[in-house]
Amino acid sequence: MKNILILLISLLYGLQSFAQDPEIFKTWYLREVFSDFSTIFVQNISPPINPTLSISETLDFSGEAACNTFSGTMYFDSATNSLEMLSFESTNNTCNDQSHVIFEMEFFLFFEVGKSFQAFVSNETNGQQTLATIGPWYPRLVLKNYMLNVAEKDKLNIAMYPNPVTETLFISSEGNTIENIKIYSINGNQVIEASPNLNSIDVSSLSEGMYFLEASSSEGQRIQKFVKH
């Protein structure tokens, strides 16, 4: 799979040009929520939910969570090359399931007014895309431009160890061939790209801190975080 990472927010263009970029302005379907201590996979939530995030060219946004809907506005800061939350509001419905309560608590933290992030779109096959957010704050999101289906539950899963890691990060994926691996810093900068079919990566040259590993295969993508000691 040819995977092209596009930085949507470019310092070379500014807000007017950014606002005309069609890649980010659509309805996205949430897959993962990275928090400080864990990762919530939407496909594992029961009863099932289908959270969405729709972003308009005016940087207004809206969507559905588990039991509530939400809306708000964002601002593009060309000085920091990031999007910043200006406003956020949600309905106040009571979730009956604890899993939904926990999910909404984590998910809505992403929209805290004043927080900022960068947005990256990965082009997959057949027009499928992944939107990932990276920034200094938690949580971070992974979304797709298509709805979750049952078959997707069996798609790319990876294991990596040790975590935290000092020198060599080992990676495995049962039943899938990993075609490409990229590692990004917490600021969204790509720091390593590994050749395909490798089961380990030398990360000894990285500074201590948090990083994100993006693994791609014909079955899709997976983004996981790790700590370099």
Structural tokens at position 195 = 């050749």
pTM over 0.75: no
Residue spans per domain, the chain = 1-153, 155-229
pLDDT digits (tens, 9 = 90+) for 164-208: 999 999 988 777 778 888 888 876 678 998 876 678 899 999 999
Cβ-based neighbours of 175, under 8 Å, separated by 6 or more: none
Strands 209-217 and 4-7: unpaired
Do 156 and 221 meet the contact criterion of CB atoms below 8 Å apart? Answer: yes
pLDDT, tens only, 53-94: 999 999 999 999 999 999 999 999 888 778 999 999 999 999
The pLDDT value recorded for residue 190 is 80
Check whether 128 has a pLDDT greater than 50: yes
CATH topology (fold) of 155-229: Immunoglobulin-like (2.60.40)
Q: What is the CATH number of domain 1-153?
A: 2.40.128.270
CB 225 within 8 A of CB 212: yes
Evaluate whether 117 touches 53 at the Cβ level (below 8 Å).
no
